[in-house]
């Protein structure tokens, strides 16, 4: 009886730990989508981009991540395990006024057909809002857990694709 109880507890515990890092949606026995955790490492208004176009890029190792953090005022670089996590920088591009920023909509990225979709809130000042005239360059540095995806799509709250990155090998 003790052996059966031990086996049952071990099976339950191992199933719980396997689900801790990513979750899947199952319909009719088929996995339809999975999710991976996403978190914000840094959000700022002055990220140094001088081009008006949006851009996303990887920080694939500690050296590349340190190079990014050198641009961020007074921010300490977090410890990242690149064997388990990926880092993406989403830059909005150069903007003419204050009031622009990026925010993470959900702490989970949905994975479908090898594509991880990260939803961002793409915030712009209202048309009639009074804002300071100052060039800004908003960005969001994100940490994604590794998972069964080959590319990352960054979309705004309306579902408009802002950038797509192929996962580096």
Percent of the chain surpassing pLDDT 70: 80
Is residue 72 very low, low, confident or very high in pLDDT (cuts 50, 70, 90)?
confident
Vertex 158 angle, CA 157 and 164, to 5°: 75
- Unique residue bearing structure tokens 């969001």: 140
- Checking if the pLDDT of 21 tops 70, the result is no
- Checking if the pLDDT of 10 tops 60, the result is no
**pLDDT value at position 33?**
63
- Checking if the pLDDT of 131 tops 50, the result is yes
What is the 3-state secondary structure of the chain? CHHHHHHHHHHHHHHHHHHHHEEEEEECCEEEEEEEEEEEEEEECECCCCCCCCEEEEECCHHHHHHHHHHCCCCCCCCCCCCCEEEEEEECCCECCCCCEEEECCCEEEEECCEEEEEEEEECCCCCCCCCCCCEECEEEEEEECCCCCEEEEEECCCCEEEEEECCC
pLDDT tens track for 55-67: 999 999 999 999 9
> Is 55 among the domain residues?
yes
**Residue range of the domain that includes 95:** 23-166
Percent of the chain surpassing pLDDT 90: 69
> Is 9 among the domain residues?
no
> Is 99 among the domain residues?
yes
- Checking if the pLDDT of 24 tops 80, the result is no
The structural domain count of the chain equals: 1
> Is 125 among the domain residues?
yes
> Is 43 among the domain residues?
yes
**pLDDT value at position 32?**
52
> Is 11 among the domain residues?
no
Query: Which whole-number Å values give the CA distances from 22 to 44, 60, 81, 92, 154, in the listed order?
Result: 28, 21, 16, 28, 19
- Checking if the pLDDT of 84 tops 60, the result is yes
- CA dist 48 and 71 (Å) reads 7
> Is 18 among the domain residues?
no
- Checking if the pLDDT of 92 tops 50, the result is yes
> Is 5 among the domain residues?
no
- Checking if the pLDDT of 37 tops 90, the result is yes
């Amino acid at each position: 009886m003790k052996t059966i109880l031990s086996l049952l507890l071990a099976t339950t515990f191992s199933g719980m730990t396997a689900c801790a890092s990513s979750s899947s949606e199952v319909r009719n026995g088929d996995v339809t989508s999975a999710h991976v955790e996403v978190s914000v490492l840094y959000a700022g208004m002055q990220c140094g981009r001088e081009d008006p176009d949006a851009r996303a890029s990887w920080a694939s190792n500690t050296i590349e991540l340190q190079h990014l953090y050198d641009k961020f005022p007074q921010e300490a670089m977090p410890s990242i395990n690149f064997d388990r996590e990926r880092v993406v920088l989403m830059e909005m591009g150069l903007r003419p006024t204050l009031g622009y920023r990026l925010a993470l909509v959900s702490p989970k990225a949905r994975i479908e057909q090898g594509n991880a979709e990260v939803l961002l809130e793409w915030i712009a000042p209202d048309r009639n809002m009074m804002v300071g005239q100052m060039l800004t360059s908003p960005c969001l540095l994100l940490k994604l857990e590794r998972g069964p995806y080959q590319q990352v799509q960054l979309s705004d709250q309306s579902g408009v694709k802002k950038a797509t990155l192929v996962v580096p090998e």
